[in-house]
Amino acid sequence: MSVNLTLLIVMGALYACGIYLILERSLTRVLLGLMLLANATNLLILATGGYAGLAPLYNKDTPAQDYNDPLPQALILTSIVISFAVTAFMLGIIYRTWVLARQDEIQFDVEDLRVAETPSFDAEDDAEIPVETSEFPLTMLGSDGRSVSDHATDGAEPTIQAGGTQITATDAAAEEQPGSQNVTPGPQGGVK
């Protein structure tokens, strides 16, 4: 595949200028930056299209490798339509801000500045989550998921720590099952 160096240099310059203009606070410059990015993308698609070949028309005497690929041309046409729609939308936004505020620049927002100054670490969201979050270890359940595992070493029924009390493994496994009935209800219907 042959690469046209001129197209690549022009495309790189358009991308650089477009990104620089998008970072400005003026809506008109943002619009110009979007237009430059759209044209740079069209050049990118054109450069990746490969060699210039014959028109993509069918002729039985022409071998298939001599035809030009129509896909990059279709993608460029789609990109032109999308960039036209984005340009029209941005022109509408620019016109509306000019009518309402008689200014083209976006003003600094106090709330945005406050959010930008807050640290990115949140103690609740960024805390380490333990692997086992249940108070009843899963090793206490048997392989079938219903019976208690027989991992006790001394023959006695194993107990586990649940809250501030020790619970036998049988009660813990029964608690894990749906519709557990091993809790005595209190006078108001709660648990004692």
pLDDT for res 134: 63
Angle, to 10 degrees, between the axis of helix 5-22 and the axis of helix 27-47? 160
**Residue 143 reports pLDDT greater than 60:** no
C-alpha span between 88 and 23 (Å, rounded):
20
Check pLDDT > 80 for residue 76: yes
CA distances from 58 to 52, 61, 63 (A): 16, 9, 10
pLDDT digits (tens, 9 = 90+) for 151-192: 544 556 777 766 667 777 777 666 655 555 555 555 665 554
Dist. CA 91–CA 79, nearest whole Å = 18
CA distances from 11 to 36, 49, 106, 135 (A): 9, 14, 28, 60
Token reading at 45 = 């698609």
pLDDT digits (tens, 9 = 90+) for 33-42: 999 999 999 9
Enter the tokens of residue 90: 């941005």
Could you give the CA distance from residue 38 to residue 185 in angstroms, rounded to a whole number?
A: 69
More confident residue, 187 or 76: 76
